[in-house]
């Protein structure tokens, strides 16, 4: 029996040594795509037993190209909005994800953004580099303790963030969009009371552009928006208006729509934007765990075992 072929569409870490170690249990042949273009993936997908993907789009065409042999599409990560899940489900192909690998990292990234924005670190850094050594007391920085953080989405990461914020003496409000709980504030009550609003929702038809003009105008003018969820949760044009017109004090954004902003994008000119390139999930520990768990799901399916997390049961 020939060795199963595993197509890895893309990854952002140095190499696939961890995945290859796990996949060696089944003697798999690993194929690494040179890029994530659909035409490239369609060409490479023929005859593969599994597709592992990070950010590349696994479209219906890619799945159809591998349909005769494909047993699994495995996502490196939590969200599966870059995978044609319906197409896979129609063909009886499971789609797996890794839902619990970067909880600490994302919660810590949110806190880092809150501290950086509230303490004015990006502004101070730019000032020092421009040889401006004044204290800049006019920034109006505030004490973190006693401030209110509003968390939209109270899953694993939202709950981990809440625990950290409470330990810092912050007041925590949580709104659960998908499963409201007794005593939870409504979304707009949360927005009106929060000094920091942190998004932790998946990208769905209900959450796409949920952060729009109405959402941002409901926030306090001295509040900050933090997004480490999915870029398309935030309407980028609305965010640009909010920053330009002073609807909010600033924003910390790790994920954008589009995923990579083109040079000259108006958001990049905003001095009150703290931007990171979709790195909230990343640490040495989380990447190793992510690679291992994603590869293990492939091994499990190809050896007849039930993987830990299937999104299309």
Q: What pLDDT digit, counting tens, does each position of 24-69 carry?
A: 999 999 999 999 999 999 999 999 999 999 999 999 999 999 999 9
Judge if 173 and 249 occupy the same domain.
Answer: yes
Instruction: Please say whether the beta carbons of 49 and 69 come within 8 A.
Output: yes
Judge if 96 and 154 occupy the same domain.
Answer: no
**Active-site residue flag, 181:** no
CA 249, 255, 259 angle in degrees (round to 5)? Answer: 130
**Active-site residue flag, 230:** yes
In a domain, 309, yes or no: no
Judge if 196 and 231 occupy the same domain.
Answer: yes
Q: Among 259, 272, 285, 305, which one carries the catalytic annotation?
A: 259
Judge if 155 and 239 occupy the same domain.
Answer: yes
Which residue range forms the structural domain that includes residue 58?
A: 5-101+284-302
Q: How many domains does the chain have?
A: 2
Residue 179 pLDDT:
79
* CATH classification of the domain holding 27: 3.40.50.720
Judge if 108 and 86 occupy the same domain.
Answer: no
Q: Among 278, 284, 285, 292, which one carries the catalytic annotation?
A: 278
Judge if 260 and 297 occupy the same domain.
Answer: no
Judge if 154 and 239 occupy the same domain.
Answer: yes
For residue 196, give both structure tokens: 């920091």
Judge if 216 and 119 occupy the same domain.
Answer: yes
In a domain, 25, yes or no: yes
**Active-site residue flag, 285:** no
Single pTM value for the model: 0.87
In a domain, 202, yes or no: yes
Of residues 306, 312, 300, the one with CA closest to residue 28: 300
Residue 263 pLDDT:
95
Q: pLDDT tens digits, residue range 146-195?
A: 999 999 999 999 999 999 999 999 999 999 988 778 889 999 999 999 99
Judge if 211 and 162 occupy the same domain.
Answer: yes
Question: How many angstroms separate the CA atoms of 259 and 195, rounded?
Answer: 27
Q: Among 19, 105, 230, 240, which one carries the catalytic annotation?
A: 230
């Amino acid at each position: 029996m020939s060795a199963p072929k595993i197509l890895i569409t893309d990854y952002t870490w140095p190499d696939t040594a961890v995945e290859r170690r796990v996949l060696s249990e089944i003697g798999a042949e690993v194929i690494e795509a040179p890029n994530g273009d659909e035409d490239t993936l369609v060409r490479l997908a023929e005859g593969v037993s599994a597709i592992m993907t990070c950010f590349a789009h696994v479209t219906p065409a890619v799945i159809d190209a591998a349909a005769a042999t494909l047993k699994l599409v495995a996502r490196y990560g939590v969200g599966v909005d870059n995978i044609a899940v319906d197409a896979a489900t129609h063909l009886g192909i499971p789609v797996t994800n890794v839902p619990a690998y970067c909880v600490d990292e994302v919660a810590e990234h949110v806190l880092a953004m809150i501290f950086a924005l509230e303490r004015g670190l990006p502004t101070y850094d730019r000032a020092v580099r421009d040889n401006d050594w004044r204290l800049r007391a006019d920034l109006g920085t505030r004490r973190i303790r006693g401030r209110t953080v509003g968390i939209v989405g109270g899953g694993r990461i939202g709950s981990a963030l809440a625990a950290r914020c409470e330990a810092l003496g912050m007041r925590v409000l949580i709104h659960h969009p998908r499963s409201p709980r007794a005593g939870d504030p409504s979304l707009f009550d949360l927005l009106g009371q929060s000094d920091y609003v942190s998004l932790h929702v998946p990208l769905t038809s209900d959450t796409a552009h949920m952060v729009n003009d109405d959402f941002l105008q409901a926030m306090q003018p001295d509040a900050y928006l933090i997004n480490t969820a999915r870029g398309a949760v935030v309407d980028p044009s609305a965010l640009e208006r909010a920053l330009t017109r002073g609807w909010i004090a600033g924003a910390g954004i790790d994920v954008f729509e589009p995923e990579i902003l083109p040079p000259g994008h108006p958001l990049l000119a905003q001095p009150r934007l703290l931007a990171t390139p979709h790195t909230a999930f990343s640490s040495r520990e989380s990447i190793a765990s992510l690679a291992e768990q994603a590869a293990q799901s492939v091994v499990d399916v190809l050896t007849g075992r039930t993987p830990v997390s299937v999104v299309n049961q």
